[in-house]
Chain A
Amino acid sequence: MPLAATQTSVPVVVDNDKCIADKGCTVCVDVCPLDVLRISEMTGKAYMAYDECWYCMPCACDCPTGAVTVNIPYLLK
C-alpha cells in the first residue's frame, strides 16, 4: 500500500533567535530520551523532527539559552 504524509502538531517549540545550535550547541538533541529533535540543515537551529514526545522536559530545562518550550501534546492536554 502506498504511504501518505499526515500532518501533526508537535509539542516542542524552539525560539530561533535564542537557539545557538548554529554555533555548535547540541544540548537539546543530546538529552532527548526519544531522540526526536534534530538540527535543521536549512536554518542551523534545533527543531522537533518527530511527534514522539514524552513531554519530560530535559530539552527545555537543559537548554543554555532558554530557547526551548515543551507544550503538552494536543491529544492529552
Chain B
Amino acid sequence: MGGPFEAYSDLDESAERLKAADAGERRVAVMELGHAGDPDAIPLLAGVLADPDAGVRREGARALGEYDGLEAAEAIALALIDADPDVAAAAADSAAELRDPAAADPFIALAGHASASVRAAALRALKELRRGDALKPALEALRDPDPSVRVQAVGVLGFLKREETIPALRIATADADPQIRRAAVSALAFAQSAAATEAIHAALRDEDWMVREVAADTLGNGAAGALVAPALIAALDDAFWQVRLKAARSLGRLRAVNAAPRIAASLVAPQVNLRKEAAALGEIAAASSRPHLEAARDDPDPDVRKTVGWALRQIDRRAAAREA
C-alpha cells in the first residue's frame, strides 16, 4: 500500500526476513508481524519462539500480545515457559491482554506448572477470561506455597463471583500473607451469605491495618447492616485512622443510626481526612448529630466545613420529609 498510508506489510516478505542471519533484522521482522493485524501472522510468530536469540524471542512474545484467541494463546503459553526470564515476562504481559474466553485452555493447563512464576502468570491471564473451568485449578492454587500464585488464584475466584468459591475465599482470609488476606476480603464483597460476612467481620480484627481497612470498606457494601454494625462501631476505635475512616464511611452507607454518636466523636480528631467523614452523619441523618455538627461548623479545614454543612442539610431534609 503506498501513497499517504501506513503500510500493512506483506507477511511473506516478513517471513523471509525472519531467516536473516542478523538478530536485529529478525527482530524488526517480528515487530512487523505484530503490527500486521492479520491472524495469519500467529503461526509465524509461534515459530519465532524457537529463535536462538532471546531478544528475538522476547519480541515474538510481545508481538503475540497483539492477537487474541486460542491460537495466539497457545503460542503465548509456549513463550511463558521459555528459559529466559525476559521472554517469559513479556509473555506474561501478553497473556494478560487476552480477552477471548477461548484463550483460556493453555493457561488452565499451565496452572499446575513446576515454576511459580508460570503458575502466577497463567492464573493472571485466566482472571479476565472468567471461564467456569478455571475454578478447579484456582481452588488448588489457593494452597500453593508461593504467595504470588495464591494472590492470582484469589483474583480468578473473585472475578467468577460464584457461590462455591466462598468456602475457599474464607480460608484465604486467614492466609499467612497480608496481601492475600486483603484480596480475599475484597473478593468476598459479592457474597451476601452469612458465612462470607462473618469472614469479613473477622478480618476487622486482622493484625495488618490494610486488611482491616479493606474489611471496614467492604462491609459497607453488604445488605447485612444490622449484623455488621456493632463490629464496624468497634472499628471506630482502631489504632489506625485509615481504618476508622472506612468504618465511619461504611456505617454511613449502612445508615446505622446507633453509630452516629460514635462517628460524631471523630469530628474533633486531629486528622482532617477523618473529620471529613462527618459526611457519614449526613447519610445517617439522625437529629441527635446536630449539636456535634453545629460545633464543627467553623472547622479550620474547608473540606470539613463543607461536609459538615452538607450533613446538616441532610438532617434538615430528613426532618422536613418526616413532617410532610
* Interface pair A24/B25, CB less than 8 Å apart: yes
Please, which residues of chain B bring their CB within 8 A of the CB of A24? 24-25, 28
- A10 contacts the other chain (CB 8 A): no
- The distance from the CB of B132 to the nearest CB of chain A, in whole angstroms, is 37
Q: Chain A contact residues: over half helix, strand or loop, or mixed?
A: loop
* Interface pair A64/B59, CB less than 8 Å apart: yes
- The distance from the CB of B116 to the nearest CB of chain A, in whole angstroms, is 26
Q: How far is the CA of A22 from the CA of B28 in the complex (A)?
A: 10
Q: How far is the CA of A20 from the CA of B29 in the complex (A)?
A: 12
Q: How many residues of A contact B (CB 8 A)?
A: 8
Chain B residues 1-35 with CB under 8 Å of chain A are 22, 24-25, 27-28, 31
Interface size class of B (residues with CB under 8 A): under 10
* Interface pair B31/A65, CB less than 8 Å apart: no
Q: How far is the CA of A27 from the CA of B62 in the complex (A)?
A: 14
- B137 contacts the other chain (CB 8 A): no
- The distance from the CB of A66 to the nearest CB of chain B, in whole angstroms, is 10
Q: How far is the CA of A25 from the CA of B26 in the complex (A)?
A: 10
Q: How far is the CA of A24 from the CA of B28 in the complex (A)?
A: 6
* Interface pair A25/B55, CB less than 8 Å apart: no
- The distance from the CB of B26 to the nearest CB of chain A, in whole angstroms, is 9
Please, which residues of chain B bring their CB within 8 A of the CB of A25? 24, 27-28, 31
* Interface pair A27/B31, CB less than 8 Å apart: yes
- A77 contacts the other chain (CB 8 A): no
* Interface pair B24/A22, CB less than 8 Å apart: yes
Q: How far is the CA of A25 from the CA of B55 in the complex (A)?
A: 14
Q: How far is the CA of A22 from the CA of B20 in the complex (A)?
A: 14
Q: How far is the CA of A34 from the CA of B25 in the complex (A)?
A: 27
* Interface pair A23/B24, CB less than 8 Å apart: yes
* Interface pair A65/B28, CB less than 8 Å apart: no
Please, which residues of chain A bring their CB within 8 A of the CB of B62? 64
Q: How far is the CA of A22 from the CA of B27 in the complex (A)?
A: 12
Shortest beta-carbon contacts, A-B, top 6: A23-B24, A20-B24, A24-B28, A23-B25, A25-B28, A23-B28
Q: Which residues does A use to contact B, with CB under 8 Å?
A: 20, 22-25, 27, 64-65
Q: Can you offer 24 A-B residue contacts whose CB atoms are under 8 A?
A: A20-B24, A20-B27, A20-B28, A22-B24, A23-B22, A23-B24, A23-B25, A23-B27, A23-B28, A24-B24, A24-B25, A24-B28, A25-B24, A25-B27, A25-B28, A25-B31, A27-B31, A64-B27, A64-B31, A64-B55, A64-B59, A64-B62, A65-B27, A65-B55
Additional A-B contact list (14), CB under 8 Å, known A25-B24, A25-B27, A65-B55: A20-B24, A20-B27, A23-B25, A23-B27, A23-B28, A24-B24, A24-B28, A25-B28, A25-B31, A27-B31, A64-B31, A64-B55, A64-B59, A64-B62
